[in-house]
Structures are given as C-alpha cells and as structure tokens.
Amino acid sequence: MKMKLAEIARVVGAQCPYSDADSPTITGVAFDTRQLKPGDLFVPLAGERDGHEFIGAAKAKGAAATFVATDHEPIETALPQLVVPSPLTALQQLAQYYLLMKVNPKVVAITGSNGKTTTKDMTAAVLATQYHVVKTPENFNNEIGVPVTILGMDTNTEVLVVEMGMDRPGQLHAMSTLAEPDVAVITMIGEAHIEFFKTRDKIADAKLEITDGLKEDGLFIYNGDEPLLTERAKNVDQGQKTFGLGPENSLFARDIESFEDHTDFSLSRWPDLKFTIPIMGEYNVTNALAAILVGRRFHVKPETIQRALAHFQVTKNRTEWLTGDAGESILSDVYNANPTAMKAVITDFAEFPTTGRRIVVLGDMLELGDLAGDLHASVAEAIDPAKIAEVYLYGTQITSLQAALAAKMPADRVHYFATPHQADLIDALQQDISYQDMVLLKASHGLHLENVVKALVEGSHA
C-alpha cells in the first residue's frame, strides 16, 4: 500500500489537514501498535481497551497519521487526524477502494466450519505456480483481518486468496460484499459456533452469505457431499462446481491412503495422476479437491497442481507431528476443534501402525451451546477400544464423552482431569507414555493443550 493521506481522506469522507501536494504518504495500516511500522496509518478500534488510548504510542512508533472516531474528538496529538464516524468502517471503505481501484486482482474467498485455513494454504500454493498471489496471514479472517489483508497487498498482486470466518449472521455478507470475490468456496458445514446459531441449518444459511458479493460471472465451489449446501446452492445464480467423495460431484477422490505425514489419492477426472498432500487425513483430501477446482478455474495444469499440493506449507498447529521427550510420536491438533473434525482425526489416527499403544488426549470443544453434551458424547462412536488403548479427557463438558465411553471401554483405560488440573494431566501422561507409543492431542484452543504438547516434547512439568 502506498497512498497520499489526502486521497485516503477523500475515500473515507474526512477532512484532511494537508493539500495533495503537501500530504504525507501512507505505506500501511495497523490497529495494534506492537505491529505498527513507520509510515503506517493507525486505526484505533474498540477492544478490551479503546484503541484511541494508544494514539500516543502509535506516534512514538512512527505512525504517519491516525483515524479518530467522531465521538472521541478532540484528541490531543501531534499526529495528523482523519475524523470519521467509525474507524472500522473507514478501514473497510479504504480496503475496498484499494482492492478495486488500485490493485484489482482476482479474488478467491474461502469459508467453512472446518478446513478453511488449510484450503486457503493449498489454494494459494496452487495459484502461486502461475500468478503473484497474496493470502490471508495466520487467521486474519474477520471484519478487521480481511481489510488489513487487502491493504497489505502489493499493487502487482494478481490473485488474492482470502479466508473468511464468521460467528454471527451478516458477518460473511459484509466481508463478501467488500471483497467481491470471483470465486467463493465453502469447505463444509460443521457444528462450529452452534452455540450462537442453534442448528446446522442456520450455520449453512450464514455460510451461504459468502456468495452475496460473488461477481455475476463468478464461480461457487462447495462440498457436494453436504445436503445443506446442495439444497441452498439452488438459489445461487452463478456457475457452480462441487467436490467431495461421492461420484455425483464435479470432482471426487478415490483410492485414498492416509499415512502419518502424507495422504495419497487419485481423482475421477485424471485417473492416471496420483496426488499426494503432506498432511494426514481423508478430510484434508476434500480440502485439496476444492483447491484443485480453483486451480482449474485459473487454468493451472493438473500436473502443476499435483506438484504444488505435494509441497504446500501448512499453517502451524494443524495436525503437526512431533517427537516427545520419551521418544513417543505426538500428533498435535490443538488449534481448534468441533465434533466433525475430532471424529475424523481420531478415525485416521486409529489406523496408523505402531509397535506401542495409541493414546488420545481430548479436551472440551467450545461454543456448542445446549447441544454440548450430546455432541461431546457423539465422539465415542469414533473411538474403537481395539485400536485406542488409553483415553485422557480434560475439561468440563468432556464429561459427557466420559459417560458415553463407560459402555464400551474399561474404566481404568479412561482418565478424566478437570480444567484446573492440567498439571496433573501432564504428570499422568509423562508417567504413562513410553517411547513406542503414539499420542493424539485435540481440543479447542481455549483449553490450551499446547501447554501439554510443550511439556511432553520438552519433558518439562507444568
């Protein structure tokens, strides 16, 4: 980004204290002074603390100007100020202007209850073989992160791959109409945020909002194995492609073989090409299918897609294999969790060969609302006592799974630890695990099982 402050003022409808000739050049935006770089425009947002409190810190870090909300003026600062009704709205207005008027790349927007970050990484890797691509960094996938991602693009960007998350109705509508995607992708409908939406039907309705800004000649790519999506897709006028495991899809996978560090599969369309992705799981194959369909939309050759998928970089903390201090193999998947994802990873984990025992460490899945008990209990169907030797449970809501397992596993193979007792969980695991064992850890990030992973890897104690 490189724009005169006077031009930014015109975009957001603010008075600028400079003429065009004298106006300073803005080279970026920041809403967190810890990440602010000299030349940035500071955007004070409401959070745990009011962002306006940090305008002084922004000046000290080298900010070139700041937005100020109308209801906060006057602000005593030497920074040039653009007074706007809402700094967040102004940020979004500026992002849309920069996207459409300064860069004008093709836009691929990706959402889904599971898999959106992995699909984003895969899609960016495929498209980067042929185009200058920018993708959403980390998890900058909300109404703040999307405009910040857009404003971080170089002007020579040809394709923007933007991840869009949501936890309430209307959120995807706003982001989609801002970005006006050429391709919209929905990976799947799960139970994430069901506490707020109450039903999967309502989650599906909210996910479909990603098509609200889809260009008239755009393409809607979605998981055709999900009836909630196929039903709603009938109301989308743009062209459509589906992916999945069923033969009725535009693109479907077969001959899937999952290993600890990679998964092999072939495709209906090019049966002679064998694809490999450097992560485990059938559920990641469907993510790859979405990326393949996007690649074909942009005329990337199948053989090029094959090579790109074989070497794409996975965002940290998603199905990461580590070696523990005792020599055990650890599968860390502690970034987030919902019932669909938890059952899928347990099912795959149970098939990996090992000379020792398979041990699973599962924590609460958050934001499941009134259905939390039933949904935690449903994970029991994925746990085969003949393949899983020990189950460690951690949290509050996970007690429903403990009760469900009582009917299928001996009590001495199921170990429960309440949320305050993470140190006890770590001690129990360190005493139990041997070098031949294989350990899976999965929970919502709020349970902080990453601390357990760290202790197992380093041999440290909580």
**Host H or E run for residue 240:** strand 239-244
User: For 73-186, where are the alpha helices, taking DSSP H only?
Assistant: 87-97, 116-127, 145-151, 171-179
- Residue 116 labelled as part of a binding site: yes
Q: Where are the alpha helices (DSSP H) in 13-129?
A: 55-60, 87-97, 116-127
The response to whether 113 counts as a known ligand-binding position is: yes
C-beta of residue 28 within 8 angstroms of C-beta of residue 41: yes
Please state the separation of Cα 227 from the chain's center in Å.
23
323 is known to lie in a ligand binding site: no
Is 117 known to sit in a ligand binding site?
yes
Side chain identity, residue 462: A
Q: Is 149 annotated as a binding residue?
A: no
Take residue 7 and report the two structure tokens written for it. 């031009």
Q: Is 176 annotated as a binding residue?
A: no
Place of tokens 């799947």: 188
Q: Is 153 helix (H, G, I), strand (E, B) or coil?
A: coil
Neighbours of 254 (CB within 10 A): 12
70 is in an annotated binding site: no
Task: For 198-229, give one letter per residue: b (16+ CB within 10 A) or e.
Answer: eebeebbebbbbbbbbbeeebbbbbbbbbebb
Record the tokens describing residue 128, joined without a space.
């980067």
d(CA 332, CA 318): 7
Tally Cβ neighbours within 10 Å of residue 397: 18
Q: 47 to each of 41, 50, 312, how far by Cα in Å?
A: 18, 6, 35
Q: Name 71's Cβ contacts closer than 8 Å, sequence gap at least 6.
A: none
> Could you tell me if 342 and 331 are in contact, meaning their C-beta atoms sit under 8 angstroms apart?
no
72-95 exposure pattern, b = at least 16 Cβ within 10 A, e = fewer: beeeebebbbbbbebbbebbbbbb
Give the burial class of 276: count Cβ atoms within 10 A of its Cβ; 0-12 exposed, 13-18 middle, 19 or more buried. middle
Nearest 10 degrees: Cα torsion 406, 407, 409, 415: -10
Task: Compute the distance between CA of residue 375 and CA of residue 418 in angstroms, rounded to an integer.
Answer: 19
User: Annotated binding site, which residues?
Assistant: 112-118
Q: Which residues are annotated as a binding site for ATP?
A: 112-118
